[in-house]
Each structure stands twice: as structure tokens, then as C-alpha cells.
A and B are shown apart, each in its own frame.
Chain A
Amino acid sequence: AQSVTQPDIHITVSEGASLELRCNYSYGATPYLFWYVQSPGQGLQLLLKYFSGDTLVQGIKGFEAEFKRSQSSFNLRKPSVHWSDAAEYFCAVGRGGSNYKLTFGKGTLLTVNP
């Protein structure tokens, strides 16, 4: 069965600092990987996705993620965090090509200090 682990429940960074959110997955085949962000009381917004090809993918809001098959990881990064990035971040793996069923990690809550 596929699974996703986000080791950090809560991360606090200062505005302007760099950010890396960790994600490890377990999946038997080539994974389809996603990062979503959720602001309080809101739905999930897609930040970026990896399906194949270049292992470094760029997303919206200045985020990027790197797929490392050898480490079963798909970490999310941002070089300089803005206060508006404070939210909860979810890593997810899709089942097969259709990705009709996403398996999510438990999420990482990001707090940004001024």
C-alpha cells in the first residue's frame, strides 16, 4: 500500500529565510507526487506536481521540489519565505495514472515569524 510521511508536524521560520519541507513516500511503481497548500478554513491549492522527466519541478509562489528516487523523497523548497506562506502543506502520492485517489501525508504546519 502506498504511504506518505511528512516527518515535521510544525516548522517555524523567519520571514526571508529559506525553507525545506520533507516528504517521503512508499509506492511500488513510479509515483505521481504532489504538494498542496491549505490556508485556514480553505481547500487545497496545488503548488506543484511531479509525473516524470526533470526531477526538479517548479511550482507557483516560488516553490520548487526535487524528486529523489533513491531516497523516496520529494522535498519542497523555497529560497525566501514570505509571511503569506504561513499555511499547512501536504505532500501526496497518486495511485497509477489517474490519480483518482491521493494518499496524503499528515501535513506540515508552517509558521512565519516577522
Chain B
Amino acid sequence: KAGVTQTPRYLIKTRGQQVTLSCSPISGHRSVSWYQQTPGQGLQFLFEYFSETQRNKGNFPGRFSGRQFSNSRSEMNVSTLELGDSALYLCASSTGLRLGGETQYFGPGTRLLVL
């Protein structure tokens, strides 16, 4: 099976712009979670999507949003970019069935630099 893929791998934006990141989960997986990784804060949970619905959300401002399509692909959007949004954005996929003992599989990440 192909792994989790993320596009683009690298992005450079300027403050005030918006950005959209894409994540394709492992085939058959219906849950996609997003994480932000920075040197200062480490890995932080942004949100989870399952069957096109946001099921859970972390503690991030409303500038961070996402969506999921019927094929389980997910996009994450950040509006009005700030310098502090520079980070590695990771997505992870799982079956999402909550049967116990789920494992999240991560993509390679999108490196976002805000100037």
C-alpha cells in the first residue's frame, strides 16, 4: 500500500497570505489528523477529520481550518499567515473506526516558511 502523501513538500509565503496544504491518506483509511511541529512547541494536534466531518479540534485559532473530501483526502488552510505559523505540518491517517488500538501513520510533512 502507498503511504500517506502530502503536497506540497515546501512552501514559502509572506505574512498576511493564506495557504492550503493537502494530504492523501493510506487507501482505506477514513481518518486524517493534522499536527503542527515547531522547535519551540513541539508536535501539537490541530484537528481530525473523519468521513468529511471535523470530529475533533485542538487549541488553535480559527485561522486554521480544514476539510475532508469524499475520497478521504484532506486539506488544511491557514489564513492571514503570521511568522509564527512557520512550521512542519504533518498529517496522519488511520482507519478512524475507534475499535481500540488505532495506529496513526504519518506523511512526510509540508514545510511552511512565512516571511
Contact = CB atoms under 8 A, between A and B. Distances in A.
Interface stretch (A13-21, A45-53, A56-64, A65-73): A45-53
Interface residues of B, number: 31
Given A43-B90, A46-B103, A97-B99, A102 B45 contact: yes
B55 interface: yes
B111 A97 contact: no
Contacts of A41: 111
12 contacts: A36-B106, A41-B111, A42-B108, A42-B109, A44-B90, A97-B98, A97-B102, A99-B102, A100-B98, A102-B92, A104-B42, A104-B43
B105 interface: yes
B101 A43 contact: no
A102 B42 contact: no
Given A44-B90, A90-B43, A106-B42, A98 B98 contact: yes
Contacts of B96: 98, 100
A27 interface: no
Interface of A: 32, 34, 36, 41-46, 49, 51-52, 90, 92, 94, 96-107
Interface of B: 4, 6, 31, 33, 35, 42-43, 45, 48, 50, 55-56, 58, 90, 92, 94, 96-109, 111
A101 B33 contact: yes
Going nearest first, the 4 A-B pairs with the smallest beta carbon separation are A97-B100, A98-B98, A104-B43, A44-B106
Contacts of B42: 104-107
B14 to A, nearest CB: 22
Nearest to A107: B42
